[in-house]
């Protein structure tokens, strides 16, 4: 096992933002949470390539990403590679929030919920 989030030890998420989020009892640090992860996760995680799927997606796509989130350039490359016609895909940038606010920040959830609601009403 290694730490899930740490900036001082080997960890799956060696970033201060992850330490702040997963160490906060008001957010992710719940009673049954252990700050650890099985080291073997890395093997499958490193093999995973979401870009292989993008050219095969032909259904309507709504992508929401943050300019302060992880993997901004990869997210944009994925969106650009999605095969869905331009009139049936949309990319929404949330500029002001860090990555972990997408998990539990009420204003972010409200904004994202509105975007997704519009998308699903249009295509479902």
Measured CA angle at 102 (ends 99, 106), to 5 deg:
135
Task: Indicate if the pLDDT at residue 89 is higher than 90.
Answer: yes
* Residue-wise pLDDT tens digits, 60-83: 999 999 888 888 999 999 999 999
pLDDT mean across residues, the chain:
92
- First-last CA distance in the chain: 43
Q: Is 90 exceeded by the pLDDT of residue 39?
A: no
User: Binning pLDDT at 50, 70 and 90, where does residue 27 land?
Assistant: very high
Here the tokens at position 4 are 């899930």
Question: Residue 63 has which token pair?
Answer: 């992508």
Q: Binning pLDDT at 50, 70 and 90, where does residue 95 land? A: confident
SS (H, E, C) 60-116: CEEEEEEEECCCHHHHHHHHHHCCCCHHHEEEEEEEEEECCHHHHCHHHHHHHHHHH
Residue in the structure block whose two tokens are 């640090």: 29
Confidence band, pLDDT 50/70/90 cuts, at residue 45:
confident
Please tell me the pTM assigned to this model.
0.81
In Å, how far are 24, 73, 87 from 66, measured between CA atoms? 22, 11, 22
């Amino acid at each position: 096992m290694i730490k899930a989030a740490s900036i001082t030890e080997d960890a799956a998420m060696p970033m201060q933002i992850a330490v702040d989020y997963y160490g906060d009892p008001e957010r992710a640090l719940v009673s049954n949470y252990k700050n650890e992860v099985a080291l073997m996760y890395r093997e499958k995680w490193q093999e995973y390539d979401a870009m292989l799927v993008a050219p095969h997606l032909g259904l309507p796509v709504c992508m929401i990403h943050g300019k302060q989130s992880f993997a901004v350039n990869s997210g944009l490359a994925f969106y650009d590679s999605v095969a869905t016609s331009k009139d049936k895909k949309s990319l929404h940038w949330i500029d002001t929030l860090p990555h972990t606010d997408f998990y539990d920040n009420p204003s972010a959830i409200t904004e994202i919920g509105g975007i997704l609601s519009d998308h699903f009403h249009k295509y479902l």
